[in-house]
Amino acid sequence: MSLDRWIALGVLLIGMAYGYTAFFTMDAALPPFMRNNPIWPSTFPRILSVMAIIISLIILLGIEKGSGGPREGEIDYRRLGQYKIGQALGLLAMMVAYALLLRPAGFLPSTVLFLLVGAIVLGERNYKILVPVSLFAAVFVWYLVQVVLGIFLRPWPFFLG
């Protein structure tokens, strides 16, 4: 079985567990006045679980491949060493570090650092463009969240006030 089908099998199992939770246990503690609403807190999880199950079954059954042999660009599990797994794992580690540094370091420094190091890990070496774009993106997102949406987002580390 190819790698995409193994992944689809994992998504199917997760989708089934998520669907069971969404359909049978999530709304048990709803107050009586919410039971007559057309949309419950479990509505979106139900939709997500059904979509995940349908899409993973399509991949497992091979419906999306159609006729013909393997196409170029498909993941071959026998050649995993040729893919850039180190970059992917590095980005995942950086995402975890970003989430952990967000509160103590503040939004702006941690976001700029994440964007800079992430682009460098992916192979960008034009620092004259990389640094201003990272700074602009972090400040722009902070401005949108803080000023436009009105959600407080600590821009600087806690010791700077």
Residue 74: pLDDT band (50, 70, 90) is low
Do 90 and 27 belong together in one domain? no
The pTM (predicted TM-score) of the whole model is 0.56
Asked whether residue 143 falls in the same domain as residue 127, the answer is yes
Supply the range of the domain harboring residue 29: 3-82
Question: Quick one: 8 and 77 in the same domain?
Answer: yes
Q: Is the pLDDT of residue 77 over 80?
A: no
pLDDT value for 75:
64
* The pLDDT value given to residue 130: 94
Report which of 126, 106, 107 is spatially closest to residue 116, judged by C-alpha positions. Answer: 126
**Domain match, 7 and 43 both:** yes
Mean pLDDT of 46-63: 91
